[in-house]
Structure 1
């Protein structure tokens, strides 16, 4: 199954806000509808956003205002702007370029899965017990995924003991999306409350695998909020902390993590859960969608082309 694709002149993508209850494919025919799908997280994940941006430029038909709004729809993930720029800066036919980016993402995820699984197996003599946060599977890409693509490769090799998947508050991408994908691949897993993750790293986890929405030039990485706490816990417990992300996520124009704009998604996602209010009426919230992990806490960054040790 592809999370996002170009079909008969329009974008078709999985509406991830409806999972795991329903698997619904949206058909996107306008740039405005695509921007809405991006902002409400119907499509999410750095690689998938890159492909969405590329297809969106095709749909914009050269309208610069629409392209600029699309490029700015989510500020932290560099891949959205990268996908837009790859198509607008190409001399080739826009659709041809966008389809090439789609195919490159599929190939990159397979390569990251193999390279990352090789690294985990080199660090772990037996079957690996992996901790992960958010969703980094095929839903975050076109197919297979980044960090969860490594998990899938380990599972296919018969070298996966268990996945501990953090629920990932406030939008529960781990509980809703990662668990759904792990069930589909018949991989053993258990869900973990976010705040339990750092402690559970002391109980026999072999590696933490996460994705990234942006990798700064110095190796600092921005990823789903809660990643930094896992990095701190992993350093204390002596557990390898591995970031799996495509080369397109590396942003040489951003010197370090302190230069990464962190998106705040407002009160509602924190004070309610799927429409049910948890906090008293009028409660305010801080809701950073991402945090930054400094490079000195990262064991390795795995891309489709190389393993980087910051």
Structure 2
């Protein structure tokens, strides 16, 4: 595994604080749901799959010391889940993981109403199961995506979709890691990904650390690179996929998709099934997180914009399905028309 973003250590979760990268590789011990809420909200742990696993551990941490009745325990499960759900609104894996944990708690409670301890222990087991499942899912996404890669291929990516965004080898970067492992030479162009520079701080660091050739470029340079024939394939991740195949991903993704279509470059999204939200008909229904304007007006704590200027800072945008060549999942690659194909995958 290129890097470990989150793990469970006896009585607490340990996460790699991604706000410190690339300057410092610092791990944090998370022993309460409040600390996990802060870690998710502040992007210390980030990436849709990793957020889901982190939230599952956070829910367990919120009830592990409960000593009341089963009714009180289930009420506390709901309260902790509700609190964690408010940390970030766009990544559906967060809600998927919390719903799964709540469902498991009720399943265990129904099986033995007199044993709250079994519910608590079962929740930790479920969170650990989700961690292992994500590793397997990433591997499968990588194997399916590997079919798209050929020696010498030049791949453009936006934001970070490697091991830092998951607990496995990543989503959109999973095929790249597997290609490197198998001796298939590919190179990656990484958008810097303003305003929080996940491409510059995380993707470039992660790929360089793994020995994979990577070139960093400004977000605004991606289109001109494609225009010159410098990109063979675009691979990006997703925080939520609507029923029709519209995809929410880090802001700037839709612009990359538009340029890819204009210049005839295949544009693929890599996404686990847990990111597919069939409850939303189109991407227009996906809630888009609006973040602090200081992320735009400051870099490294240094102001780069006039004092008092208004800021528009959405964390994500929506790429319409018509610009997407295919979606890579753990069960294979689907192509348009997406709606029927996605429903078939998740049923």
What's the TM-score once normalised by structure 2's chain length?
0.86
Match of 1:82 in 2: 96
How many angstroms does 1:157 deviate by? 2.6
How many Å separate the matches in 2 of 1:24 and 1:149?
23
How many Å separate the matches in 2 of 1:236 and 1:160?
27
Tell whether 2:292 aligns with 1:263.
Answer: no
3-state secondary structure, aligned to 1:147: coil
Q: Which runs of 5+ in 2 are unaligned?
A: 64-72, 109-121, 337-347
How many angstroms does 1:275 deviate by? 0.6
How many Å separate the matches in 1 of 2:91 and 2:200?
22
3-state secondary structure, aligned to 1:120: coil
- Work out whether residues 135 and 174 of structure 1, in 8 Å CA contact, stay in contact via their aligned partners in 2: yes
How many angstroms does 1:143 deviate by? 2.3
How many angstroms does 1:271 deviate by? 0.2
How many Å separate the matches in 2 of 1:175 and 1:94?
36
- Work out whether residues 179 and 186 of structure 2, in 8 Å CA contact, stay in contact via their aligned partners in 1: no
Structure 1 residue corresponding to 2:217, chosen from 183, 188, 192 = 192
The number of aligned residues is 306
- Work out whether residues 56 and 84 of structure 1, in 8 Å CA contact, stay in contact via their aligned partners in 2: no
Match of 1:170 in 2: 195
3-state secondary structure, aligned to 1:119: coil
Match of 2:54 in 1: 52
- Report Cα offsets for 1:9-54 as digits up to 9, x if no partner: 1111000000000011110111111111111100000000010111
How many Å separate the matches in 2 of 1:273 and 1:308?
39
Q: Which runs of 5+ in 1 are unaligned?
A: none
How many angstroms does 1:160 deviate by? 3.2
What's the TM-score once normalised by structure 1's chain length?
0.96
How many Å separate the matches in 2 of 1:283 and 1:34?
32
How many angstroms does 1:127 deviate by? 2.1
Structure 2 residue corresponding to 1:304, chosen from 330, 335, 347 = 330
How many angstroms does 1:69 deviate by? 1.2
- Report Cα offsets for 1:217-254 as digits up to 9, x if no partner: 11100000110011001001111100001010001111
How many Å separate the matches in 2 of 1:71 and 1:267?
22
Residues 108-257 of structure 1 aligned to structure 2 (within 5 Å) = 108-121=137-150, 126-202=151-227, 203-257=229-283
- Work out whether residues 169 and 194 of structure 1, in 8 Å CA contact, stay in contact via their aligned partners in 2: yes
How many angstroms does 1:66 deviate by? 2.3
